[in-house]
Amino acid sequence: MSADIHLAAEQLGKMGYLDLDVDPSLDLVAAINQLKKEKNAVILAHYYQESEIQDVADYIGDSLGLSQQAASTDADIIVFAGVHFMAETAKMLSPSKKVLLPDLKAGCSLADSCPAPVFRKFKEKYPDHKVVSYINCTAELKTLTDVCCTSTNAKYIIDSFPADQPLIFAPDINLGRWLVKETGRDMVLWNGSCMVHEIFSHEKITKLKIKHPNAAFIAHPECESHILDAADHVGSTSSLLRFTRESKYQEFIVATESGILHQMIKDSPGKTFIPAPPNNACACNDCPHMKRNTMEKLYTCMKYELPEIHLEDWVIEKGRASIDRMLEISARAGL
């Protein structure tokens, strides 16, 4: 390794990524594709990644699809273009593989809203309850969880417990409230939320709906309940994408992270997509964590195989059980 990479590797803890200059004339798409081949690496990207990253990925999906891919890939290296908890999940599912994340500081406000030591104490107050956690949580929280879920499979996961089994749902209170309504199950909810999905403005959306009377308003269940109540369709990222593809509507107001619009436009080029406006002066609803990943960081991460995700063995063993159960139930449900 050159002196530069040694220094950049030493500073990983502080920076979160390899802070190296990348030749601006380099064809990053070609270079990344070459590294994929040389290293037998696979790039798994979330729908909320910037469009260039989505286009160079081998698989683009939401949390359920990405977990299924991470569990089944025969690549030697998994490069996760997403946020930290997603790369941790991939490591749990494929512990013998090298899992890379372009920027370790690509975190998640929702995962951070439920620190495991505090949740452990909270859980002690409900000794008879089982825990269902949204996959958007830390690896340590997964060790305190009976079954994980995503927004695609959450209803099936909850219904898989006997009706008289009391449940705690963590960490997203908005998704939890929506699930209580959908399943008719009174769960104890942890009070966490996603900074992107709780900023949509009801007032601005109402005005937008008046301006576009033929548009369907679609929303992710991490949004607040007054936003969901106004939606024509509520669903996971994949479900929203499918709805835009299959429904008769030609125009959509979309309340979720704006990265998904890239696939929506690609899938339905003749249709119109309007990002739902947030409740602030900014016109965008980007997740700042997801957008920490860039093509340059993706390239240096693959070239030097850093930063890498490491987890303690007990965390992998205990946390993985909750993800395995989720994948089993999902497979039985045909998801």
Q: Which residues are annotated as a binding site for iminosuccinate?
A: 46, 63, 134-136, 151, 220-222, 237
Distance CA 32, CA 34 (A): 5
| Residue 154 in tokens | 């959450």
By beta-carbon proximity to ligand SF4, the closer residue of 73 and 293 is 293
Q: Environment class of residue 270 by beta-carbon count within 10 Å: exposed (0-12), middle (13-18) or buried (19+)?
A: exposed
Q: Pick out residues in 88-117 that bind ligand SF4 (CB under 6 A).
A: 108-110
* Element spanning 298, H or E: helix 295-304
User: For residues 47 and 299, which CB has a smaller minimum distance to ligand SF4 in the complex?
Assistant: 47
* Count of positions on this chain that bind ligand SF4 (CB under 6 A): 13
- DSSP class of residue 70 equals H
Write out the binding residues for [4Fe-4S] cluster: 108, 194, 287
The DSSP code sequence of 304-329 is: HT-SB----HHHHHHHHHHHHHHHHH
Residue selected from 289, 292, 297, 303 as contacting ligand SF4 according to rule CB under 6 A? 289
Smallest distance, Å, CB 74 to ligand SF4? 27
Closest separation in Å from C-beta 70 to ligand SF4: 16
Contact letters for ligand SF4, residues 244-283 (x by CB under 6 A): -------------x--------------------------
Chain Cα centroid distance, residue 26: 30
Stretch that binds ligand SF4, among 18-26, 71-79, 287-295, 318-326 (CB under 6 A): 287-295
Least distance from ligand SF4 to the Cβ atom of residue 29, Å: 25
3-state secondary structure 148-213: EECCCCHHHHHHCCCCCCCEEEECEHHHHHHHHHHHCCCCEECCECCCCCCCECHHHHHHHHHHCC
Q: Is 149 in the site for ligand SF4 (CB under 6 A)?
A: no
Binding site for ligand SF4 (CB under 6 A): 48, 83, 108-110, 136, 194-196, 257, 287, 289-290
